[in-house]
Amino acid sequence: MEAETPTTTTAMKTTFLIMNGVILAVGNCGGPLIMRLYFIRGGERIWFSSWLETGGWPIILIPLIAAYIRRRRSTTAAADGAAKLILMKPRLFSAASVIGILTGLDDYLYAKGVAKLPISTAALLAATHLVFTAAFAFLLVKQKFTAYSVNAVVLLTVGTVVLGLHTSGDRPEGESEKEYVVGFIMALSAAALYGLILPVVELMYKKAKQALTYTLIMEIQLVICFFATLFCTVGMLINNDFQAISREAKEYELGEMKYYLVVIWSAIIWQLFFLGVVGVIFYSSSLLSGIIITVTIPITQILGVFIYNEKFQAEKGIALFLSLWGFISYFFGEITKNKNSNENNDQIRTTTETGRSSRQIIDS
């Protein structure tokens, strides 16, 4: 078997990055929509909805088992005697479990916000996590910023402030001002907490004292979601959600069968989101993961307006415009930075080759 070339490695990383970005986009668009469908058609269990965000973690066992079988059949594994069933070491397991508990808390805050807000508003509030991601990435993983990335963060912040100061006519029918404010605060708190979680995951990767592979990343994802689900399970037990599920299913507006379909697909779609997140962080950075999450928000907003007939006032349009402007600013900055980096590398390479040629002429 031929050794993998650096070019091939880069190409593969780019391919996997795009794949994980697509998975993340699908999960981030579909997750809030199906969660909102649960609530507007009769669902009322906040802890249960939180549980569904990570409750699909057993799905990750399928690719993990496939990866284990592949390792067993590989030449290296056969020569060494046996492939390891679990790659994760205790140090990584402990870190992932703590992140999982924080994720469980974030699930609850987010579900509470989605339950009380129109999906378009909740989506815009979720965009603010980029601000917190940028700040924590700077502090924890020494993320480098350009004028373009700073501009993007500022524009997203201003957009959210505009949205927060103009909420007239945005409350769902029958909801009080107090409930709307609680939902707003919860959604914003969830964005702030997740803005911390993303850089912490990247920091965990950097501090891991073992070689990272995508299989190991999936193991980390499983542990994070397991502990997040465990956290929400405790909340469900305290809130007696398990006893209420069958009754809620029978009273669901779309029917009992569709209730369980909504529940199952919610777990599946949210698992795509979390798998995409850890994959993008692995192949790039927590900041890019945050950017991709935010990029999909306009799609979620538009779908929310068309599917659920939500209002789209002028302030939402302004916030959306500022968000899109921020996205364009960030990506333009990244393109410019990469272009300058490539030009510098080419210049260094040319200088080195010129110097080598001069020495050869002198030697001859």
- Residue tagged 């880069």 (tokens): 10
The CA–CA distances, whole Å, from 327 to 50, 118, 182, 219 equal: 29, 23, 28, 31
Q: Nearest 5 degrees, angle CA 117-CA 120-CA 124?
A: 95
Which tokens sit at 343? 């030009």
The gap from C-alpha 215 to its chain's centroid, in whole angstroms, comes to 18
Buried b (16+ CB within 10 A) or exposed e, 267-282: bbbbbbbbbbbbbbbb
Cβ-based neighbours of 201, under 8 Å, separated by 6 or more: 99, 224, 277, 278, 281, 286
Write out the chain's pLDDT in tens, 364 residues.
333 344 446 778 888 889 999 999 999 989 989 998 999 899 999 999 999 999 999 999 999 999 888 888 875 545 555 678 889 999 999 999 999 999 999 999 999 998 888 776 787 788 778 778 888 888 888 877 777 777 877 776 677 667 666 555 556 666 677 888 888 899 899 999 999 999 999 999 999 888 888 899 999 999 999 999 999 999 999 999 999 999 999 999 999 999 999 999 999 999 999 999 999 999 888 878 887 887 777 777 778 778 887 777 777 677 778 777 877 777 777 677 767 766 665 566 566 556 555 555 555 5
Distance CA 152, CA 227 (A): 33
Q: In angstroms, rounded to a whole number, what is the distance separating the alpha carbons of residues 200 and 204?
A: 6
Taking only Cα atoms into account, the Rg of the chain, rounded to an integer number of angstroms, comes to 23
3-state SS assignment for residue 89 = coil
What lies within 8 Å, CB to CB, of 180 at 6+ separation is: 116, 117, 167, 170, 171, 172
Query: Could you tell me the CA-to-CA distances from 293 to 23, 27, 97, 140, 273 in Å, in that order?
Result: 11, 9, 23, 20, 9
* Whether the Cβ atoms of residue 249 and residue 191 lie closer than 8 Å to each other: no
Cβ atoms < 10 Å from Cβ of 313: 16
Directed axis angle between helix 6-40 and helix 46-54, to 10°? 160
Q: Are 53 and 110 in contact (CB under 8 A)?
A: yes
